[in-house]
Structures are given as C-alpha cells and as structure tokens.
Structure 1
Amino acid sequence: MSKKDSQQSEEVDLGQLFKLIGNAFDRFFKFIGNIFIGIYKVVLLLFIHIYQRFVWYAAALVLGGLIGFVIDKSSDKLYGANMFIETNFNSARQVYENLKQLHQLASVDKDTLELAKLFDISASEASKLKGFYIEPDLDENNIAEKYSTFYSRLDSISRLEMTYDRYRESLTPYDFKIHRIGVASTDKNIYKKIEKAFTDQLSGNPYLQELLEVNKLNLNLKDKVLVTQLEKTDSLVGEYLKIRISEAKKQQIPNSGTNLYMGNAESTNLIVDESKIIEKRLELENQRLKINEALVEKKNVVNILAGFPNSGYDISKWTDKKKIILPIVLFLATLLVFSMIGFAKFLKSQSETLN
C-alpha cells in the first residue's frame, strides 16, 4: 500500500470513529430529552386531571382542613422542657437505664399509677407525662480535648491507626459527663412539680450512694488534716516572729544569738527566710479551696446544671398538626380513587379490544 493510500485509510478510520462518538452523544442527549419530555407530559396530564375534577379535590382539601382543625382544637398540645445534668462516679449508665424505665412507663405502658408513686403526684397529673429522653450534650472542644489526652497515652503504632474521626465514632453516650434530659407532657406546668423527685430517680443505686458517702468522708478527713497543718504552720510563724523580735532587741554580735533552722536550710543562716513558710501556708490554703470545690461538685451522684423551666414550651411539629396532614391525606386518597377508576376503565377497554 502506498503512503497516500495509507493516509486516506487512516482518515476514513478516524472519520468513522468520530461519527460513532457523535452518534453516541446524540442518542444520549435524546434519551435525556425524552426523560424530561416524559416527565412534562405526566405533570401536564396530572394538572389536566385535577382541573377537570377541581370540585372534588377542592372539597377534599376543605373537608380535611375542617376536620383537622376540629381535631387539633380538641386535642392536648404537647409541651417539652429540658434539664441539663452532670454525672459523677461513672453514673451515666445508671442514669440512662433509669430514663429508659421512665420512658417505658410513660410512653408504652402508660402506667400512671407507678409514675404518680415515683414522682409523688396525682394519677391525673402522671397521665399527662408522655415521654422521657436523654442524650449527651456534645461539645467539639471537649471531644478534641479528650482525644488529645487519649492520643498522648498511645504508643507510636496505635497513633497511626487512631484518627480523630475514628476516636469520635468510638465514643458512647456514657463517655460524656454532661447530658440533656427532655420530658414531654401535655401539661406545661408539671415540670417544677416533678423536678425534685425526678432528680432522685436518676441515680437510685446503693453502690453509687456508698461511693458518694465515702468520697465526702475522704474529702472531710483531708480537710481536717490540712486544717491541722495550717494551725501548725501558723504556730511556727508566730514562734518565728517572736525570735525575730527577740533577736532584733539584742545587741548584734557576729555568730551570737538564737539560731532557727528549717528543712534543708544551711547552718550558716541565722534565721530562715519566712517567705518559705508563707508559701507553704498558701499552698495548704489552695488545697483547702480545691477540697471545698470538690465537696460542691461531688455533693450528689448527679449534679443539676440547669433545672426545668417554670413552664414547658410547645414542641409539636407540623407533621403533628392534623389541619395540615388531613387535607394532604384526603387529596391523595381522592387522586388514588380516580386513578383506580381510570385504570379500571383502561383494563375494560383493553379487554374489549382483545375480545
């Protein structure tokens, strides 16, 4: 084959290739166009159908709206309120279990007598409790801090595998100390009535109560020890000042007078610097302050960071409003009925054609 014939053959092959590619794109765009045309025809037919039977659909919407309005008017509103708690002594598991039990009594069993007994309220008031919910109060800063602490304890191999996302996914609600508790009720004024008894029900566990008592005892004993140390330090400071005054009154003679040595003070010093004693006293005072904070922070198994408000707030969603849902349901039901009638007519016509 000559060089000229070879070039013509390659041009033909390339032309056929581009033609195939062009045909493929053409079929693809036609396919996409047919989809949109089909959707347009379906929507157009739907609007024509509704227009031809406008009275029926308008009646369905109006009737649904009226019935829904009456139902909403006669139904109780659903209110909600939140409480934020902090768990001590790894008590989160117990709190979650207790909340599950309360939710079971209120939402599933509807055991108003048991709820009334637990919260010290009447059975009619207990019947208005509809559910109890809990979830950790997530804070990305706290999660990042927990990850940093956890990551620092890992070896070099584990650090390669434990990413932040993987660590975050491994966390459970029990790993957090602060949690949000929600209570649903049809009585917006019930929350303050149940708050105290509800708090007691969160941490009902003998083991946790024993831990609480032992922790208080240990903190009080440590505080007593610190008080004794402070008294001894104050006494030492008093004696030291007396020696200072006594030495000041004496005639200053080299290497004479009373010597006072503390700790590792060098023997060449006649009097130890009193700032050491003051620093020690401040350190003891700081320890006492931390103990006082611990006594407050761990005074209970569960700390109430934010209690229930005086009254609940409306937590109903648009899907709970019958005046919105019923018109939609009746409209779709009407459409379904007419669709079934039309399909039946189509089947009948096809049957006559085949016969």
Structure 2
Amino acid sequence: MANNSTPSTQNNSDEIDLGKLFQLIGRGFNAVFNFILKVFLYVKKNIFILMGLVVVGLAIGIALNRIISKKLKSEIIVKPQLESKNYLYDVIGEIKANLKAKDTLFFKGIGIEKIDFNGLDIEINRVLQEGGSENDIKYLELLQSFENTDAIADIVRAELQNKSSFNHRITIYYKNAEFGKVFTEKILEYINTNNYFNVLLEVYRNNATYRIEENQALLKQVDEIISNYTNNLASKNSEVTNERIILDNQEQVNIADIFQYKTGLIRDIEAKKLELIENKETLSVVNLGQPQVVQKSFFGKNIVLIPLLLILLFFAISILKYLNRRSMSIS
C-alpha cells in the first residue's frame, strides 16, 4: 500500500509547484502591464508639458545653431618619403602640443603672425587600404618563385620600404575658412623644412638623374646593335645561327637577351622618372582637401540634444517628487 501511494503524492506536489509557477508568471505579466499603463497615464496627463518642452528645446537648438559658428576641417592625404613616417608623426605631435599650449612664438616662427586658437586642432592617422590582407597573401605566394635568387633581396627591401610608407591623412580643424587655408599651407611648409631629409632628397634626385642619363646612353647603344643586326640580317651578310649574333669576334649573343636587356633599361628609366616626381619634398601631398563643415552625430546636434535634455530633466524632477512623497508617507 505504501508503494502505491508514493507516485500519487509526487504527482500532486508537481502539480502544486507548476500551479505556483504559473501564478508567479501571471503576476509578473500583470506587474509589467500595470507599470506600462501607469507610464502611459503619466505621459497622457503631462502631454502638453512634454510637447511644450520639445517646442522650447527645438527653438533653443535652432537659435544656438545660428549663433554658434560651424566648425570646419581640411583633410590632406600625404605620403612620407625616405622612411620619414616617424618624423611626420613627431612633428604633428609637436604642432598639436603647441596648439594646446597656445604658443604664439612657435607659430610666429613658422610664418603665422596672427593666430586664432579657438577651435584650432590637428590630427593624423593612417589611410587604411581595403583588401590588404588578401593582397599580402598573393604577394607572398609570388615571392616564393624568387626564392634563393639574387633578386629577392632587392624585392624585399623595396616592399618593406613601400609598406612603411602608407598614405596618411592629416586633419586640421578651424572655424575661419580663410585662416584655415593659410594655416594649412604654413604647416605643410614647416614639415618640409627638415634639413636632414632635404639633403637626402637632393642625393636621391642626383642619383636618379645620373641613372637615367646612363641608361639612356646604354639604350642608344642597344638600339644601334639591334639596328645593325636587323640590317645585316636583311642583307644576309652576317653570321646568323639560331638567332644569335657575333659582336667583334666575341662569343655569340642571343638576340632575345638583348631585347630583354632593352626592356629592363626602359623600365628602370621609367622608375627613376617616377622617383624624381615623388621625391621632390619630404612629404608628398596626394590630395589637398578643400574646407568642409564638420558633420556632427545625430545626438550631437543642438536641435536634437536640447529637447532631449529638457525631457530627461522633466522626468528626473518628477521621479524626485515621487520619491519625496513616498519618503514622507513612510516617515
């Protein structure tokens, strides 16, 4: 008999526990519903006050937007040359520190006589390139074909120099468009007045010019060889065997190698001409942006922020009044 009564007792206790659980859930829903209903009734009761606060806040926000001058900015995309990235960040940090200190002597030294520090600031960050990781993987796969060759050292050196010279964005904030333009020009001039890098640039440019002249002289000789070979081939007066030519009784030279050598000379001349263009200054300006208005976030605009603050202040005062009444009833 004892064994038969045990399961029924367990079932009854389970049914009681489930019933209590459903009652608790129902009470929870009722509490939430009552809270929402009270909030709705409170908002309904004070709807005209809230609407008035919104209208007043909008009016104040519009007035402030007209009174307060808009902040402007210029974004300059630059490329540091000759591994001058660290110097670029240091000099921008120096300028930023002098702006915070409002050091007029420093700015007079770089040619800015009258400076308005109101809203003036400068920042720098690297311009990120999309798809960089995928391109890096493809490039590493390509480098494997040059393994254990003399060309790998030059390729790696050039690539490391390129990777360390990403484009960077200098952002200058100001309030007066005319002054901002002058300030930007003077800052770029100051950055490019580093004596160390200017001397290096001069050496680089001289080397590149000399390399171009030498390559052009070699290219002229190669063109003469190819021209003579073509003329002799047409007249059939030269010893030609398997597309090879004999120069001044020396060993035979493959004509394909001569054309390949000519192509290499042309590419080297093109590369050096690009170096002459890029290495004019320590900091090459890729894009000198025009003044533009600083766009604030949605909640950072006065026309939205002030009405929101007034409504929050109203609710805060109401909560304090409610807590005060409750404390008075308890005491």
Fold shared, TM-score > 0.5 on shorter chain: yes
TM superposition shift of 1:151: 8.5
1:342 is matched with 322
1:146 aligns with 2:136: yes
Q: What SS class does the counterpart of residue 140 from structure 1 fall into?
A: coil
Q: What SS class does the counterpart of residue 82 from structure 2 fall into?
A: coil
1:303 is matched with 284
How far, CA to CA, are the matches of 1:31 and 1:208 in structure 2?
77
TM superposition shift of 1:346: 1.0
1:185 aligns with 2:165: no
Which structure 2 residue ranges, 5 or more long, are not aligned?
Answer: 145-162, 240-245
How far, CA to CA, are the matches of 2:19 and 2:191 in structure 1?
67
Structure 1 residues 196-217: Cα deviation after superposition (integer angstroms, max 9, x where no partner) = 3232344554443343333223
How far, CA to CA, are the matches of 1:199 and 1:58 in structure 2?
51
Kindly tell me: are residues 146 and 91 of structure 1, through their superposed partners in 2, closer, same or farther at Cα, counting changes over 3 Å? farther
Match of 1:224 among 208, 213, 217: 213
User: Contact 2:83 / 2:165 at 8 angstroms: preserved in 1?
Assistant: no
TM superposition shift of 1:326: 1.6
Match of 2:251 among 240, 256, 264: 264
| TM-score, normalised with respect to structure 2 | 0.71
How far, CA to CA, are the matches of 1:12 and 1:176 in structure 2?
80
Query: Which aligned pairs between 1:204-353 and structure 2 lie closer than 5 A?
Result: 205-233=194-222, 260-261=247-248, 264-265=251-252, 277-309=258-290, 311-351=291-331
When Rg is computed on C-alpha atoms for both structures, the one with the higher figure is 1
Query: Which aligned pairs between 1:129-140 and structure 2 lie closer than 5 A?
Result: 130-140=120-130
User: Contact 1:82 / 1:181 at 8 angstroms: preserved in 2?
Assistant: yes
TM superposition shift of 1:343: 1.1
Q: What SS class does the counterpart of residue 284 from structure 2 fall into?
A: strand
How far, CA to CA, are the matches of 1:95 and 1:32 in structure 2?
64
Query: Which aligned pairs between 1:28-107 and structure 2 lie closer than 5 A?
Result: 37-106=30-99
| TM-score, normalised with respect to structure 1 | 0.67
TM superposition shift of 1:149: 4.9
TM superposition shift of 1:349: 0.9
Match of 1:200 among 162, 183, 189: 189
Kindly tell me: are residues 242 and 348 of structure 1, through their superposed partners in 2, closer, same or farther at Cα, counting changes over 3 Å? closer
State the aligned residue count: 307
Which structure 1 residue ranges, 5 or more long, are not aligned?
Answer: 155-173, 253-258, 266-271
Structure 1 residues 230-286: Cα deviation after superposition (integer angstroms, max 9, x where no partner) = 3544565677789889995x9x9xxxxxx7447631xxxxxx776654553343222
Q: What SS class does the counterpart of residue 123 from structure 1 fall into?
A: coil
How far, CA to CA, are the matches of 2:19 and 2:210 in structure 1?
85
Q: Percent identity, please.
A: 17
User: Contact 2:112 / 2:183 at 8 angstroms: preserved in 1?
Assistant: yes
